[in-house]
Structure 1
């Protein structure tokens, strides 16, 4: 499960492990439910981290210290 000290890459790795275990179908029902819940928490954590990173990249400063929306930089 995701914790505040955990990073994005570790969370993705754990999520991939959970998916593989569930896809094999060899996990007892109770364990599968717990894995699914843990996977959903990890997925939410990763989604929040990606949203945070996207917000940081929306505005980029040019060489003169002026801020420009990230979409303007793509056109160049």
Structure 2
């Protein structure tokens, strides 16, 4: 069984939440374009000055996505 990796982009400042929400739209477009599975994306507000957008990829696809989209960080995805 292949691990899933959650790639994360952090957005800070008072407009971070809207930026993270918009960034998720582009992550969804990328998944469709590249035909990636699983199709898991999201955005989350941590506090007033920190939000994030994320997508989950198979570990085997992680390097390709990392090099293309330059996430800020990553972690093993826990379902």
Q: Same fold (TM over 0.5)?
A: no
User: Which structure dedicates a bigger proportion of its chain to strand?
Assistant: 2
Q: TM-score, normalised by structure 2?
A: 0.32
- Structure with higher helix content: 1
Instruction: Work out which structure has the larger RCO, using CA pairs closer than 8 Å and 6 or more positions apart in sequence.
Output: 2
The structure that has the greater radius of gyration is 1
TM-score (norm 1): 0.33
